[in-house]
Each structure stands twice: as structure tokens, then as C-alpha cells.
């Protein structure tokens, strides 16, 4: 499966992470590339409305919200998860970006 980035903000975010966290993020993205929509928890979870989260666990919990688009997955929004629930603000932002793809 091909991996797309909506813009370069996600790549900039990944570069700012410490080396071990960055390596885990890249590994989970590679798993999505290899397994596509067969990738399940703990690495990927549906958020509904065509949005999914890539879940990177560790000292920092990283989330990348993505959607399936064209022949692959488009990474929309990435952030450090600080609470048990993904904020409405983060989900709404990803939904807004997803609308731009269509």
C-alpha cells in the first residue's frame, strides 16, 4: 500500500521526535504500508467516518490520523496523545483535511 502525506507537517513532526520514538513511528508506518487495511489493534484503530488512527505506544504515545485514499493511505494529522481520548479538535481537524482530498 502506498503512503501519502497530506502535507509536510507530519514529516516535520516526526523529525522533532526523539530517536527511539521516531524509529517506532516509522516502523508502524511501514506496517501500514505492508499490511494495509489488514493492520489492526494495537497498531491501527478505526475512529469512524473513514478515519483511522495509527497508534505508536511508548514513553510518548503518538497518534497519526489517516484515511484510505486512491491506492493507499493518506496521513492527515499527527500529535502526541496526552489524554485517554483523542480530542474533538484533533478529529475535527482531520475531518477537515479529509474533505480536501475529495
* Count of other CB atoms within 10 angstroms of residue 7: 12
What pLDDT is attached to residue 31? Answer: 97
pLDDT tens per residue, the chain (102 residues)? 999 999 999 999 999 999 999 999 999 999 999 999 999 999 999 999 999 999 999 888 999 999 999 999 999 999 999 888 899 999 999 999 999 997
- The whole-angstrom separation of Cα 41 and Cα 7 is 26
| Domain ranges, residue 59 | 2-101
Element of type H or E holding 64: strand 61-69
**For the domain that residue 15 is a member of, what is the CATH number?**
3.30.2310.20
Helix (H, G, I), strand (E, B) or coil at 66: strand
What pLDDT is attached to residue 62? Answer: 96
Number of domains, the chain: 1
Using CB atoms within 10 Å of the CB of residue 44, give its burial: 0 to 12 exposed, 13 to 18 middle, 19+ buried. Answer: buried
What pLDDT is attached to residue 44? Answer: 96
Element of type H or E holding 72: strand 72-81
Strands (E), 6-60: 44-48, 51-56
What pLDDT is attached to residue 94? Answer: 97
Amino acid at each position: 500500500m502506498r503512503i501519502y502525506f497530506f502535507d509536510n507537517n507530519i514529516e516535520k513532526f516526526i523529525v522533532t521526535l526523539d530517536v527511539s520514538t521516531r524509529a517506532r513511528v516509522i516502523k508502524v508506518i511501514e506496517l501500514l504500508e505492508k499490511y494495509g487495511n489488514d493492520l489492526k489493534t494495537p497498531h491501527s484503530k478505526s475512529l469512524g467516518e473513514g478515519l483511522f488512527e495509527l497508534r505508536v505506544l511508548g514513553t510518548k504515545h503518538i497518534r497519526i490520523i489517516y484515511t484510505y485514499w486512491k491506492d493507499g493511505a493518506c496521513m492527515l494529522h499527527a500529535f502526541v496523545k496526552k489524554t485517554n481520548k483523542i480530542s474533538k479538535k484533533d478529529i475535527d481537524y482531520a475531518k477537515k483535511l479529509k474533505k480536501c482530498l475529495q
